Structure 1
Amino acid sequence: MWTSGEGMVIRTRGVSLEGRGYGPTPERAPTIVLLHEGLGCVELWRDFPQKLAEATGYGVFAYSRQGYGRSDAALLPRPLDYMTREAVDVLPDVLKAIGFKKGVLAGHSDGASIAAIYAGSVQDHRVRGLVLMAPHFFTEPMGLDAIRDARQAYDEGDLRARLGRYHRDVDNAFRGWNDAWLDPTFEAWNIEEVIAYIRVPVLAIQGVDDQYGTRAQIEALETQSYNPVDVAMLEDCRHSPHIDQPDRTLAAMAEFVGRLDAIEAAEAEAA
């Protein structure tokens, strides 16, 4: 179990993953599990997890997937279904390791896709809702162009040096993500089929100026979901709502989990 704000190590399938919990532990309150983006890690959430715990009263747990942050390096090249493998094979082990009892999966970018895959593929009644920040359900030409720009910035600019402050093996982190997305066969990647199997309320948050995805990603979620989908499209916001618009993102998430609490209380009273 975690001590708020202190790092911990999760061991799963022979791999060590770094993690950090904030606020109350799972036996004391529901938990929001944060799933980072394709170049993210625990440290790159910055102060958002602590603020999220304070705003919601939930515990918040973040971890770095294999290949990121201070977690063990990943074997490269990554399989092109790596997000599905993370959702189905790894995430259940992480939830077990932290003693997850009930709560919300909150993912950003790749992490949002992993959260959606989990909710649409794994029957887990402990998961009461999803927060999907800048989710990807399929590739888009403009998003792939932005990923090509990231490769150029990494090879020729200062992106490698900036990321190197957060990842033990920065090349492993970047190449694992970038090479997978720019593999020619990855253009056909599509996980829309999981949407119809999601059985919990969803909050989708996206920046109007997101350089990696258009509103078509959110529209796919809205039109194909059988459960309530709330959408927050944020002005003056690119791909990272929790960084570009942290206050509005925190407010939207706090309101969402508050409604989940009210629904659960009403169901308990009716029973």
Structure 2
Amino acid sequence: MNRMSEPLTTLRDDAGSASIELPATAERGPLDIEYRWLHAHRQDAPLAVFLHEGLGSVAMWKDWPQTLCDKLGMRGLVYSRPGYGRSTPRPHDVMLPVDFMSVQASDVLPALLDALEVSPAERKRMWVIGHSDGASITLLYAAAFPDSLAGAVAIAPHVFVEDISVDSIAEAKIAYEQGDLRSKLARHHADVDSAFYGWNDVWLSAAFRSWSIVDELTRIRCPLLAVQGYDDHYGTMVQIDTIARQAPQAQLSKLDNCGHSPHRDAPQALDAAIVEFIAKYTNDARG
């Protein structure tokens, strides 16, 4: 992961580092997780938890989580997964397991919520919003804890591996090793090689080609919005169409003139879709 070269001013409120310990990391001790609260003073408001993409971090979200929380009237929690941002780096000799996203959903996120004293009652009102790998983790969390969240938003999710994803990730490796991608990412991660190769190596491994979370989708019971851009070069519409088949309550939002990062490519359309979707269930809950 890598350290931010300058203070992040667009994400406001309380920033810090939480210590969590997982059975799989007991030999290395606790993991430090970089996090930031948005609207921390709104203790009565529902919580939105943001899960970043495969090369993301707290800093790389920029101001989008803050903007969305402003529109939703929610508190927000943004954090960097282990290996990213200013969280504990991945040891360079340790490759992520094929099921690394399941570990994040079932172990890391619950441990962080425990460390930050997010109560069971708060979790039942919580919305989990993820992008790319973070969207897949969002789906896995919703499947693993079907009664412990209000709803989920999966933006450009992966539910199985497509050739277009592998081809684009292979191109990213070339850009990282031969172009300027490494220098761009280094502004946002304390150990940039930990962040990049943790993501790149597992996605390009032969073992990962058979990775799929399609079966897990049937366990999702909460309201679910899945968003995909038509110009996404990391995945096609078959990803969210598959979600709709497996989780019939899912609502789909397909965005024109939008690539893999709708919060950057089409933020107004994305915000409108999320706000309308969440408001529907918030209003229903109020009766």
Q: For the structure 1 residues 240 and 118, does the alpha-carbon distance in structure 2 shift closer, same or farther, using more than 3 Å as the test?
A: same
Q: Which residue of 2 aligns with 1:245?
A: 266
Contact residue 31 and residue 61 of structure 1 kept, 8 A: yes
Q: Which residue of 2 aligns with 1:111?
A: 134
2:276 pairs, out of 255, 259, 265, with 255
1:129 corresponds to which of 120, 135, 151: 151
1:211 and 2:229 aligned: no
Pairwise CA distance, 1:60? 1.1
Aligned residues of 2:106 and 2:141 also touching (Cα < 8 A): yes
Do structure 1's residue 150 and structure 2's residue 175 form an aligned pair? no
The match for 1:269 is none
Question: 1:77-115 deviations in whole A, cap 9, x for unaligned?
Answer: 111110011111111112223333022000000001111
Determine the C-alpha separation between the residues in 1 that align with 2:14 and 2:192.
Answer: 23
Structure 1 equivalent of residue 57 of structure 2: 41
Is contact 2:43-2:75 (8 Å) kept? no
- Tell me the distance in 2 between the aligned counterparts of 1:6 and 1:155: 35
| Alpha-carbon distance between aligned partners in 1 of 2:246 and 2:85, rounded to the nearest angstrom | 34
Cα RMSD of the aligned pairs, angstroms, is 1.4
CA distance in structure 2 between the aligned counterparts of 1:31 and 1:256, rounded to whole angstroms: 16
For residues 56 and 41 of structure 2, what CA distance do their matches in structure 1 show? 23
In structure 2, C-alpha distance between the alignment counterparts of 1:219 and 1:231, rounded to whole Å = 8
Letter in 1 for 2:95: P
Q: Residue 74 of structure 1: CA displacement? A: 1.6
1:122 is displaced (CA, Å) by 2.5
Q: Aligned ranges for residues 51-200 of structure 1 at < 5 Å? A: 51-75=67-91, 76-100=94-118, 101=122, 102-123=125-146, 125-200=147-222
User: How far apart, in 2, do the equivalents of 1:84 and 1:219 lie?
Assistant: 21
Whole-Å separation in 1 of the counterparts to 2:116 and 2:157: 25
User: Structure 1-normalised TM-score?
Assistant: 0.93
Tell me the alpha carbon deviations over residues 196-255 of structure 1, each in whole angstroms, 9 at most, x when there is no partner. 0001111111111000000010111011114x2111111111000001111111111111
Deviation at 1:58, TM superposition (A): 0.6
Name structure 1 gaps, 5 residues minimum: 267-271
**Separation of aligned partners in 2, 1:248 and 1:9:** 33
- Mapped contact 2:57–2:84 kept (Cα < 8 A): yes
- Matching residue of 1:7: 15
Q: 1:225 aligns with which of 243, 247, 252?
A: 247
Residue identity (%): 40
8 Å CA contact retained: 2:13, 2:40: no
Residue identity in the other structure for 2:264: I
Contact preservation (8 Å) 1:26, 1:99: no
Tell me, yes or no, if the aligned pair for 1:78 and 1:180 is still in contact at 8 Å: yes
Q: How many residues align?
A: 262
For 2:43, the aligned partner's letter is E
TM-score when scaled to structure 2?
A: 0.88
SS at match of 2:212: coil
CA shift for structure 1 position 6: 3.1
Question: For residues 149-179 of structure 1, what are the alpha-carbon distances to aligned partners after superposition, in whole Å with 9 as ceiling and x for unaligned?
Answer: 0000001000000000000000000000000
Give the residue type in structure 2 aligned to 1:111. G
**Partner Cα separation in structure 1 for residue 223 and residue 42 of structure 2:** 21
Change (3 A) 1:73 1:169: same
